[in-house]
């Protein structure tokens, strides 16, 4: 044994694991392509296919496609950790399963935040008009809150699937209905009450029409928050149960 090792009483394990997750994502080009490529394709498609007036309606929806991708990302991440045995190995160290779980979600939220900013900038670069009365903070907050819904769905998926490849495939069964029915490829939601329906309504009201009052967007925001809370809590509970060791 070398010289004595000194230990800190309360190490910041959450930060170390989050950093590890970010490093691993950063080093995977396919993940980058998927995280940015999929929503960017829709921005480009809408920008070149529609006239500027229609693009102004569709750009807020395209920005919300970004957070949807996190469903597949989080599910794949945890499935890979389960599949490789890494989660079991970590669970034999003093780190709690709660910390492992939160670190995975935190890394995805950081990626989601960066993604939202990039997509906002890109949509403006390609000609989307932001109403002068729009609240920029809300333009970030609405898609960011949507990230929680995606993480919740991602955890639900990760609870049941065993391989990262099946996570990627099965995620489409959630992503596509949310995208299409929620109105992210149409001028308005096909069905009200979907998490994406609330989010896209709120985004359009803020970005395209400059509405910021609670009367105008309060209900939509509550819908986004409620979906985020419910899916995240259910996802965490199920995931904890399915990955219990002791």
**DSSP secondary structure, 85-137, as one string:** THHHHHHTSS--HHHHHHHHHHHHHHHHHHHHHHHHHHHHHTTPPPPTT--HH
Smallest distance, Å, CB 128 to other proteins? Answer: 35
Nearest CB to other proteins, comparing residues 91 and 230: 91
Nearest CB to other proteins, comparing residues 81 and 220: 81
Smallest distance, Å, CB 27 to other proteins? Answer: 4
Nearest CB to other proteins, comparing residues 4 and 215: 4
Nearest CB to other proteins, comparing residues 80 and 131: 80
For tokens 């399915």, name the residue: 242
Smallest distance, Å, CB 86 to other proteins? Answer: 6
> Which tokens belong to 169?
């495939």
Smallest distance, Å, CB 5 to other proteins? Answer: 5
Question: Which is it for the CA torsion 206, 74, 162, 165, positive or negative?
Answer: positive
Nearest CB to other proteins, comparing residues 83 and 131: 83
The CA distance from 198 to 206, in Å, is: 12
Nearest CB to other proteins, comparing residues 95 and 181: 95
What angle separates helix 52-84 from helix 97-125, to the nearest 10 degrees? 160
The CA distance from 46 to 52, in Å, is: 9
Residue ranges binding other proteins (CB under 8 A): 1-3, 5-11, 13, 16-17, 20, 23-24, 27-28, 84-86, 88-95, 245-246
Burial 36-52 (b: 16+ CB within 10 A, else e): bebbbebbeebbeebee
Task: Report the half-sphere exposure of 143 (CA within 13 A, side-chain side).
Answer: 33
Smallest distance, Å, CB 79 to other proteins? Answer: 15
Smallest distance, Å, CB 75 to other proteins? Answer: 18
């Amino acid at each position: 044994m070398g010289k004595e090792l000194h230990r800190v009483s309360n190490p910041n394990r959450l930060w170390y694991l989050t950093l590890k997750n970010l490093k691993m994502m950063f080093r995977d080009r396919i993940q980058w392509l998927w995280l940015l490529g999929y929503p960017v394709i829709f921005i480009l498609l809408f920008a070149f296919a529609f006239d500027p007036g229609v693009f102004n309606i569709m750009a807020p929806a395209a920005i919300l496609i970004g957070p949807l991708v996190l469903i597949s990302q989080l599910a794949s991440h945890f499935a890979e950790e389960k599949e490789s045995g890494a989660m079991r190995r970590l669970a034999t160290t003093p780190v709690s399963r709660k910390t492992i779980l939160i670190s995975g979600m935190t890394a995805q939220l950081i990626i989601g935040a960066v993604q939202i900013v990039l997509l906002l900038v890109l949509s403006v670069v390609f000609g989307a008009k932001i109403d002068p009365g729009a609240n920029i903070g809300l333009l970030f907050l609405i898609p960011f809150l949507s990230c929680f819904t995606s993480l919740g769905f991602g955890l639900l998926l990760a609870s049941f699937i065993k391989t990262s490849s099946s996570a990627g495939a099965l995620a489409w069964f959630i992503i596509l209905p949310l995208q299409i029915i929620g109105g992210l490829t149409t001028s308005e939601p096909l069905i009200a009450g979907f998490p994406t329906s609330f989010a896209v309504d709120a985004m359009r009201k803020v970005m395209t029409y400059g509405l910021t009052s609670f009367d105008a967007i309060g209900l939509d925001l509550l819908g986004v928050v409620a979906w985020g809370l419910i899916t995240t809590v259910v996802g965490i509970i199920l995931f904890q149960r399915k990955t219990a060791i002791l």
